[in-house]
């Protein structure tokens, strides 16, 4: 599904706005760890789809012909007690203490296995929990409930049993992390609830982490699986609550992981990163969940809201949040939320154009969509939004082990929406740049090694990851190479190292 490339003439390139020279640093500032998203909820429906559609979806997620994601978050279900929406009530493996039904959650396991089998060698799977099994929670429910004091060892043993089964018994070698609580600041009540959720106060989190860590040690898994915590829904909550639990268990946690449902400004994000660096300098932070915002391509007006927007403007808005995470907060790992959604908000069989048109009735919580009425109308089509194609630039070109090179010496309008990453092999540079304005913008980059442009890719209103000749959008400048980033687009420019 590629659009027809638009080749810019030399005259058009010269007319593009503002060439500003910038230097690409010779030393990397950090090593990227990957891009991904969540397998929560949608597997319940997609498992009912024909085999060829399920295979196609797996390929769209995990192969480079699709997004090429290198991170997948599998939701360990709590059983859905008191959850009214069956799609959001994944089955639990827990039967009783030490007894499990490993045939539970067939739908979730299907795509977990797909991530293991189809994902590349650099795929990393995180097992995350929205709620403990109802028997373990204070109110004996999977939502509108709380973690019970004194159950840390019980709960930790259960989670470790699940990890050991899939990692050791089933051989899912790409399981690398576990997140024992997801948005512990919210129990998602009242009951009946729309989804699973378990409140874990900041004063209980050290007990939970300790119980899980000790259980991993008992099974010899502490060196294979890292604990992520605490997945607070906003940066402000994370910053204010870390002091109440994190110092006690800091050595048990692999990365500090948060969500950005507060849609932070650059200043607040920078403040969060600086605060963590000062108090916990040995730990890095990750962004692991966000969704559901409208707003302009430049980020104006973004914030939590309903509404479905599959257009390039919304895709660029989300890309802006990726650049913010990397460039402002220095985060090497980024996950979107549900990846696949039924929240189109319209009937695509009644109006085939509605899947590409914004509406107020849906939700912008996925990058791939499907018809919520598939079971009755037989519509098993997958609908790819512009967000899918924009996210593909990151998934395809920012692999784990990719060094990130800072750009300095320019006041370009693209400075905060351009990253330069090397390939893990060291043979090439990939420059990903977003232009959320109505005019083409040029950026001159000066590299310390000799390089040559080879190919480029563009996602715009008219194009879906369209492949271009590098020399059609790059020309030699006074000091380096001048890249033309088309209006309202995200582009990737590939430069291979060359002889001088």
User: What is the strand order of the sheet 428-435 is part of?
Assistant: 30-31, 403-405, 418-422, 428-435, 489-497, 451-459, 466-469
Residue 8 clears pLDDT 60, i.e. is over it: no
Residue 95 located in a structural domain: yes
Mean pLDDT, rounded, for 293-305 = 98
Domain termination site, one of 344, 365, 397? 397
Whole-number Å distance between alpha carbons of 391 and 388: 5
Same domain, 350 and 428: no
pLDDT at 10: 44
Same domain, 233 and 297: yes
Same domain, 431 and 286: no
Same domain, 333 and 419: no
Range name among 19-28, 346-355, 431-440 with the lowest pLDDT average? 19-28
Same domain, 105 and 248: yes
pLDDT digits (tens, 9 = 90+) for 31-77: 999 999 999 999 999 999 999 999 999 999 999 999 999 999 999 99
Q: Output the domain CATH number for residue 481.
A: 2.60.40.1180
pLDDT digits (tens, 9 = 90+) for 425-468: 999 999 999 999 999 999 999 999 999 999 999 999 999 999 99
Residue 1 located in a structural domain: no
Whole-number Å distance between alpha carbons of 261 and 251: 27
Residue 458 located in a structural domain: yes
Residue 5 located in a structural domain: no
Please give the mean pLDDT across all residues of the chain: 96
Same domain, 18 and 93: no
pLDDT digits (tens, 9 = 90+) for 135-152: 999 999 999 999 999 999
Same domain, 377 and 451: no
Beta bridge partners of 56: none
Same domain, 341 and 457: no
pLDDT digits (tens, 9 = 90+) for 462-498: 999 999 999 999 999 999 999 999 999 999 999 999 8
pLDDT at 20: 62
Range name among 4-13, 124-133, 194-203, 390-399 with the lowest pLDDT average? 4-13
Closest CA to 68 of 388, 474, 458: 388
Same domain, 340 and 422: no
Same domain, 260 and 357: yes
Phi, psi values for residue 289, rounded to 5°: -165, 135
Same domain, 206 and 229: yes
Q: Output the domain CATH number for residue 178.
A: 3.20.20.80
Residue 368 located in a structural domain: yes
Residue 4 located in a structural domain: no
Residues spanned by the domain of 215:
33-397
Domain termination site, one of 376, 397, 418? 397
Confidence of residue 326 (pLDDT cuts 50, 70, 90): very high
The three-state secondary structure class of 289 is strand
Mean pLDDT, rounded, for 324-350 = 98
Domain termination site, one of 350, 368, 397? 397
pLDDT at 21: 85
User: Total structural domains in the chain?
Assistant: 2
pLDDT at 19: 56
* Model pTM above 0.85: yes
Are the beta carbons of 426 and 352 closer than 8 angstroms? no
Same domain, 337 and 472: no
Locate tokens 């090593």: which residue?
Answer: 31
Residue 212 located in a structural domain: yes
């Amino acid at each position: 599904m590629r659009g027809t490339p638009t080749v810019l003439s030399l005259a058009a390139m010269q007319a593009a706005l503002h060439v500003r020279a910038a230097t690409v640093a010779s030393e990397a500032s950090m090593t990227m760890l990957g891009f991904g998203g969540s397998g929560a909820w949608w597997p319940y429906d997609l498992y009912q789809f024909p085999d060829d559609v399920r295979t196609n979806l797996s390929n769209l997620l995990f192969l480079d012909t699709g997004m090429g994601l290198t991170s997948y978050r599998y939701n360990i279900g709590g059983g859905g007690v008191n959850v009214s929406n069956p799609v959001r009530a994944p089955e639990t493996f827990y039967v009783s203490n030490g007894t499990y039904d490993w045939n539970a959650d067939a739908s979730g396991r299907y795509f977990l296995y797909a991530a293991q089998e189809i994902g590349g060698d650099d795929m990393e799977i995180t097992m995350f929990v929205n709620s403990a099994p109802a028997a373990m929670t204070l109110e004996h429910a999977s939502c509108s409930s709380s973690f019970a004091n004194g159950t840390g060892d019980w709960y930790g043993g259960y989670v470790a049993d699940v990890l050991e089964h899939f990692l050791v018994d089933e051989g899912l070698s790409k399981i690398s992390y576990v997140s024992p609580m997801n948005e512990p600041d919210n129990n998602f009540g009242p009951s009946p609830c729309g989804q699973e959720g378990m409140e874990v106060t900041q004063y209980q989190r050290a007990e939970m982490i300790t119980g899980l860590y000790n259980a991993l040690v008992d099974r010899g898994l502490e060196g294979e699986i890292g604990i992520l915590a605490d997945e607070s829904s906003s940066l402000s909550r994370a910053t204010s609550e870390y002091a109440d639990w994190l110092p006690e268990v800091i050595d048990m946690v692999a990365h500090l992981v948060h969500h950005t449902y507060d849609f932070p400004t650059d200043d607040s994000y920078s403040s969060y990163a600086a605060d963590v660096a000062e108090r916990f300098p040995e730990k890095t932070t990750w962004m692991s969940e966000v969704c559901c915002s409208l707003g302009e391509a430049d980020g104006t007006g973004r914030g939590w809201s309903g509404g479905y927007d599959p257009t390039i403007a919304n895709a660029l808005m989300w890309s802006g949040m990726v650049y913010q995470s990397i460039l402002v907060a220095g985060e090497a790992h980024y996950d979107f939320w549900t990846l696949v959604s039924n929240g189109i908000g319209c009937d695509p069989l009644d109006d085939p154009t509605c899947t590409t048109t914004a509406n107020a009735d849906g939700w912008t919580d996925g990058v791939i969509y499907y018809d919520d009425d598939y079971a009755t109308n037989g519509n098993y089509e997958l609908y790819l939004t512009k967000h899918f194609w924009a996210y593909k630039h990151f998934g395809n070109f920012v692999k784990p082990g990719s060094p990130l090179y800072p750009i300095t010496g320019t006041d370009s309008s693209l400075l905060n929406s351009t990253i330069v990453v090397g390939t893990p092999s060291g043979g090439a540079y990939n420059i990903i740049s977003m232009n959320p304005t109505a005019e083409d913008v040029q950026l001159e980059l000066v590299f310390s090694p000799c390089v040559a442009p080879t190919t480029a890719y563009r996602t715009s209103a008219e194009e879906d990851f369209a492949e271009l000749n590098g020399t059609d959008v790059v020309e030699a400048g006074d000091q380096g190479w001048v890249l033309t980033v088309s209006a309202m687009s995200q582009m990737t420019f590939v430069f291979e190292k060359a002889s001088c």
